[in-house]
Amino acid sequence: MNLVLKPAETFREDYTARNSDAAILRFPFPFHEDKYMYSVNMEPHVPGGASPVYDAVFDLDEHYIGECVDRAITLADDPMRCFVMPHLIDAEWDTLELLMESLAKDYPEQFTLSKDGAAWHWVNRPLAIDQKFTFGDASTLPYPPFEFITRQVQGDFTLQDQRDNNLFVEGGMVTTQADWSLNFDAGMSFMEWHGPVPVAHQAGVFERALTYLLRLQYGKPVRRLNWTLTANPRLDTSPENYPIWGPEKTAITPENVGARLCLRVEVQTLTRLPRSNAILFGIRGYLIRLEELTRVPKWARRMHRVIRDLHPEIAAYKGMTGYRQIIVDHLAAFDDGAATSPGT
Ligand code: HEM
């Protein structure tokens, strides 16, 4: 897969991160119709689809180096953004194996994995990592296996143990989250960690999603999309750092909304792991400024209608109450009232 990497950009303070034309065109625009409601929107995670971001098992893009640097900054400040409970050690190795094999297969120019029995050799050229280690022996790596590999991949990851007909979130690397905390949720069950989400519980969405996930098979990963809005292309919108990014939301005005406000889309993947029977949840976030998104007229038109007509409880949950009208007014200029057809 062709991967052209930019030098490190920033996702905090001066926010130099921008999307190239190619990155805009591959953005996973999440709305397939002019309205949005929660649903059990899961489909097989197979190559192909509306955007090239689905072509690799774990998609990397031009922001790879900057996002890995940003993750390292967040971890230096708060090491607890990555932890795995000790009983999930097999899931750590499962994750390392899955990510290394997938990256080496999908991006052979950037990554190489060689194996001689348990003696493995991992080469990550963009980050200048050349690591020989013994698979199954954590003492041969500079970090625990899950942390070692997820420091080198874009997007967050959580590990769910399956027992008692339920899923429990008991590990993760979470440095780019949309206002939730792994530390707070640790040990919670599927319904518990989804507790704050409005509307979806009453609609039976989580009951059906859990039933589906408990039967997730090895070798048959699934994916779904989620979205929210963020002020500036900031990756770390954690509750822990709300005092930093909260004020940036209240600084959105009609004059700066196009340049600052970002649509944030998560391509979420769910993969059954072989040794541990745990589920790896990948949350791969993509950020696009409104001024980038509105270069695609059909996206601008549709987003205007989605935000304008969004259920008020969902709008409040996604934190857009303060600037919703500013966005709607801004996007109205791109909506010619034309009828649209389903699809992105
Ligand atoms: C929101 C985790 C799978 C649907 C959330 C939140 C978390 C989370 C932490 C934020 C809750 C908060 O506000 O504190 C996970 C994990 C999953 C998972 C670890 C892995 C098993 C799913 C699945 C669905 C789903 C399979 C399918 C229906 C949702 C929805 C929201 C949500 C609709 C609200 C998102 C929004 O409006 O921005 N999830 N989730 N989740 N989740 Fe999940």
Tell me the C-alpha distance between 91 and 87, whole Å.
9
Q: Which of 157, 160, 194 to mutate to test the pocket of ligand 1 (most atoms within 8 A of CB)?
A: 194
Catalytic annotation, pick one of 224, 234, 272, 301: 224
C-alpha 194 to ligand 1 mean position (Å): 6
Is 224 known to be catalytic? yes
How far does the centroid of ligand 1 lie from the alpha carbon of residue 268, in Å? 9
Q: Which value does ipTM take for this structure?
A: 0.98
Contact 75, 81 (CB under 8 A): yes
Pocket test for ligand 1, best of 197, 307, 321 (most atoms within 8 A of CB): 197
The finding on whether 169 has its CB within 6 A of some atom of ligand 1 is: yes
27 lines ligand 1 (CB under 6 A): no
From the CB of 209, is ligand 1 less than 6 Å away? yes
pLDDT of residue 340: 87
Distance 170 CA to ligand 1 centre (A): 15
193 close to ligand 1 (CB < 6 Angstrom): yes
Q: How do the pLDDT tens digits run along the chain, 344 residues long?
A: 889 999 999 999 999 999 999 999 999 999 999 999 999 999 999 998 889 999 999 999 999 999 999 999 999 999 999 999 999 999 999 999 999 999 999 999 999 999 999 999 999 999 999 999 999 999 999 999 999 999 999 999 999 999 999 999 999 999 999 999 999 999 999 999 999 999 999 999 999 999 999 999 999 999 999 999 999 999 999 999 999 999 999 999 999 999 999 999 999 999 999 999 999 999 999 999 999 999 999 999 999 999 999 999 999 999 999 999 999 999 999 999 999 888 87
- Nearest Cα to Cα of residue 324 among 244, 232, 229: 229
Instruction: Find out whether the beta carbon of 167 lies less than 6 Å from any atom of ligand 1.
Output: yes
Tell which residue, 124, 88, 87, has the closest CA to residue 108. Answer: 124
